Structure 1
């Protein structure tokens, strides 16, 4: 991996989205829950429901936003396609950004939210004051956003590179993917 690609994934698609998600998700959580004094661990409006929803929706929406942006940047020459050797070695879970977003959301739910919530259920408090919950929510979204956006950006780069390699012929993308096997 080139230093510029590593910097792109780490900074532009890691740190920056982490900061963005900290403020956006903290603000949304405050707006949706500003009437509450406390946020319970369990219930319809709860830490568990909010965390699971964030873990699914943040990656899904990120994938639907980031994928076309990266494809556009590649078409305009602002991003170079990945080298063919890298494209051939890499695994792309789907050529659909919606399916990739759902896969990323499942990764977020099972790989990030579930361990946090299991630990919390066993050892954490049963309620949080609203502002403590907002700090948790913003921090959780920042960490999830930083990690998952870099993965989504990698998938988008791989997808755009393959599409460019086959002249944007979507039927040939599946053929290129089959040649990997």
Structure 2
């Protein structure tokens, strides 16, 4: 009797261990791609939130300069050729230690690539300010000097450029403009 109890205490068999390892492998194969996608989506959302917050502060500055920002128009393309690159937006939005439109201006998007800030120099124009992110690949093919078609792109295409201009997103992931009216 005592000998039979000792025989059961030997541990797992090889087949039991292989089954457990196979189950863990299947679970990992399912979860890891979803985890990677969730991380990319979080970076995309952070980028869009930073663009929206910075743009809102910048529009406040434009409004203070000319009493009101110009209303946007309904067009199918966005003309990036009208914009000049702004190298240090912090000087505009954080002019002194006691007065500022935004306490910290983000310089990097969620993928750690530099934002592009553009200003036409005409606060009364139809197009005044723009913020761009090159997406996951950091390509930035919009370059603030190229016209792009306004619209959404596939939300899981993280290499697409995201552009915010004059109060709304010009290029954004998904079906509905997240900052539209």
- Give the structure-2-normalised TM-score: 0.30
Higher normalized contact order (CA 8 Å, seq sep 6+, divided by chain length):
1
Higher percent of residues as strand: 2
